[in-house]
Amino acid sequence: MKKSKRIGLVTAWGECGMGYLAKNWVYTLNKFKDTIDLQIFSRAKKWLTPYKWQGDNVINGNETMDINNNVFWDWVNNFKPEVILFQDQNIYSDSKMQEECYKLKKLGIKLINYPDSIHWNELEHHKGLYHVNVAHVKRNLQWLKDYNLENPTYIPWGVIINNFPFIERKIQPNQKVRFYINLGTGTSRKGYDLLPKTIKNITGNWFTNLYKKNNYDFKFIASAIKDSESRINSTFRNFFNSNKYCELIFKTANNSAGGLFNLGDVYIYPTYVEGVGLTITESMCTGLPVVTTNFPTMNEWIDDNKDGRLIKVSKVKKWRRPTFKAYADTNHLSEIMIDYIENPHKINEHSFNARKKVEKLYNWDDRDEDFLNLISI
C-alpha cells in the first residue's frame, strides 16, 4: 500500500474568510484520505475562540495568530509534515516568517504560501521564503508575478455547489423584493455603513414623500454571526432596528447547508475591498443576483446586468493593502435597487444566469487536479 503524504494546513479557526477558504481546501484534501494524511494547525485571535475548529486531525494552537511558539513546533516535530500550506502567516510573524521558514526548510518541508490580506510593501518580504505562492483571483496572481515570487500558481476560486443549492427567485405580483446582505463578523470593509443612506434615497422622509411619484415597498434583511452585536457599526445597527423596511438578525450561517441566502431575492454587497469575495460566488450559486462594487476583485465575478449589477465607484482611497478602498456610489446603488423593484422579471433572469455561471466557471469540485498538483511539489 502506498504511504500517505503528510500535509499540514496552518489556518484560522472561526467564522472568518480565512477559515472558510481553508474549509474548501480541506473538502478537497479529504477526498483523497487513502493517499493524504492531513492535519490542521488552527490558531486565531481570542475573540474567535468560541468558533474553534473541531476534529481528530485538528491541533488547536494558542490564542494568537503568531505560530513561533512551542505548541506549533511540537506539532511539527510530532507530525513531521512533508508539505505545509500557510494562509497570510507573514503579517502575523515578528520575523515576517524569515525565521520560521528557515527552520522548516532545514527539516526538508515544502512550503506553500497563500497571501490574501496583503499590506503595502509586504510582498517584497515573501521573496525566497516559500516554494510555491498561490492566488485564487487574477488580481492577486498579478501581484505575485509583479514581485517575482517563486512559482506563482493560479487556482481559480470556486464554490462547493452541493453546499449551496439553487433556489429560483421569482417575484409574484404584490410580493415585496427582499434585499439581503451577510455582515459576517461585522468588519467595516463590507461597506454596509453605506446602506442607511442608500435606503433613505429610496424611501425618502415624510416631506419628500408628499411629492414622490412612487412609494416603493421592499424588505432589506441583514444577518451577522451570533453574539456579534457589539462588532456591528452602531449607526447601522440603530438604523436597521428602527426602520420598518429593515431587519437585522444575529444567526451564524451554516455554509454546508445553503448559508442564509434563502433570506433574500437580491444580494447587496457594496464592499470596499475584498481578498476573494466569498459571499459573492456563494450567493450566486444559490441563485441570488449580486449587486457589488465595480472594482477588483469584486467585479471579477459579475457581468453587469446579466447575473447581477456593478455599482459605480464614487471615490477611491489608498488603503493598508496594495489595493485601494473603493466607495460604492449610494445614488447608483439606490437606482439599481429601484430597477429590481420596478422590473422583478430581471431578478428571475439574473438568478438563473448567476447559477449557470457558477456551475460552468466556479465549481470547486473542478479544482481537484489543480490542488493535487499543488501539494505534489
pTM here is: 0.88
Fold annotation for 162-361 = Rossmann fold (3.40.50)
CB-CB contact of 67 with 61 (8 Å): yes
Considering just the CA atoms, what is the radius of gyration of the chain in Å? 22
Q: What is the dihedral of CA 280, 281, 287, 290, to 10 degrees?
A: 30
Helix (H) or strand (E) holding 335: helix 330-342
Query: What b-and-e string marks burial along 99-128, b requiring 16 or more CB atoms within 10 Å of the CB?
Result: ebbeebeeeebbbbbbbbebeeebbebbee
Q: What is the rounded distance in angstroms from the CA atom of residue 258 to the CA atom of residue 268?
A: 17
Same fold for the pair 5-158+364-375 and 162-361: yes
CB-CB contact of 22 with 89 (8 Å): no
Q: What is the rounded distance in angstroms from the CA atom of residue 26 to the CA atom of residue 20?
A: 10
Q: Would you tell me how many other CB atoms lie within 10 Å of the CB of residue 131?
A: 15
Question: Which CATH class name applies to 5-158+364-375?
Answer: alpha beta
pLDDT tens for the chain, residues 1 to 377 = 456 899 999 987 655 567 778 889 999 999 999 999 999 998 877 766 777 777 889 988 888 888 999 999 999 999 999 999 998 888 888 898 999 999 999 999 999 999 877 766 778 888 999 999 999 999 899 989 999 999 999 999 999 999 999 999 989 888 999 999 999 888 888 999 999 999 999 998 544 554 455 679 999 999 998 888 999 999 999 999 999 999 999 998 888 889 999 999 999 999 998 888 899 999 999 999 999 999 988 999 999 999 999 999 999 987 665 567 899 999 999 999 999 999 999 999 999 999 999 999 999 999 999 999 999 87
Q: What is the rounded distance in angstroms from the CA atom of residue 335 to the CA atom of residue 330?
A: 9
What residue spans define the domains of the chain?
Answer: 5-158+364-375, 162-361
